[in-house]
């Protein structure tokens, strides 16, 4: 009976040893994968920082700056509306139409005027 227990104990030990090796190898593989992904992440982050620096050096606003401007425009539009005024875009469009209509009339008036007489 002692031999049977010893044989099953050896089998159990072998199974535990194999399981622990598999766990160890899986851990090493996960660690290697994590290091690889970290390298890719670091490279991408470095690239993004360089691009952002280049864009800011030529004066391109960041996303946060554009969002802040949009929010400010919305606030000012609401204030103008509360004061009873028209938004600036509509006023500009109305003003742009008037000078265009006035130009042909000014040309016609200039054409009707006689040329100035030369002084003797």
What is the predicted pLDDT for the residue at 77?
94
Angle at 36 between CA 31 and CA 41, to 5 degrees: 120
* Tens-digit pLDDT profile for residues 19-54: 888 988 888 888 888 888 888 888 888 888 999 889
Between 111 and 52, whose confidence is greater? 52
**pTM of the full structure:** 0.37
User: Given a cut of 60, is residue 113 above it in pLDDT?
Assistant: no
DSSP state string for 97-120: HHHHHHHHHHHHHHHHSPPPPPP-
List Cα–Cα distances, 41 to 27, 45, 83, in angstroms: 21, 6, 51
pLDDT of residue 76: 94
Reduced to 3 states (helix: H, G, I; strand: E, B; else coil), residue 18 is: helix
**What distance in Å separates the CA atoms of residue 31 and residue 23, rounded to the nearest whole number?**
12
Domain limits of the chain?
Answer: 16-60, 62-97
Q: What's the pLDDT tens digit per position in 60-96?
A: 888 999 999 999 999 999 999 999 876 666 555 555 5
What pLDDT is attached to residue 107?
A: 53
Among positive and negative, which fits the CA dihedral 82, 88, 89, 92? positive
| Inter-CA distances, 100 with 36, 62, 88, 93, 109, Å | 65, 38, 19, 11, 15
């Amino acid at each position: 009976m002692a031999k049977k227990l010893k044989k099953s104990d050896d089998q159990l030990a072998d199974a535990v040893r194999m399981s622990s090796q598999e766990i160890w190898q899986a851990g090493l593989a996960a660690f290697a994968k994590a290091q690889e992904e970290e390298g890719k992440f670091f490279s991408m982050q470095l690239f993004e920082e360089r691009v952002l620096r280049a864009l800011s050096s030529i004066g391109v606003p960041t996303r946060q700056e554009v969002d802040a401007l949009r929010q400010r425009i919305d606030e000012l539009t609401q204030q103008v509306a509360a004061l009873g005024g028209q938004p600036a875009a509509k006023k500009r469009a109305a003003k742009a139409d008037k000078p265009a209509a006035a130009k042909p009339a000014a040309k016609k008036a200039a054409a009707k005027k006689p040329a100035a007489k030369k002084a003797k």
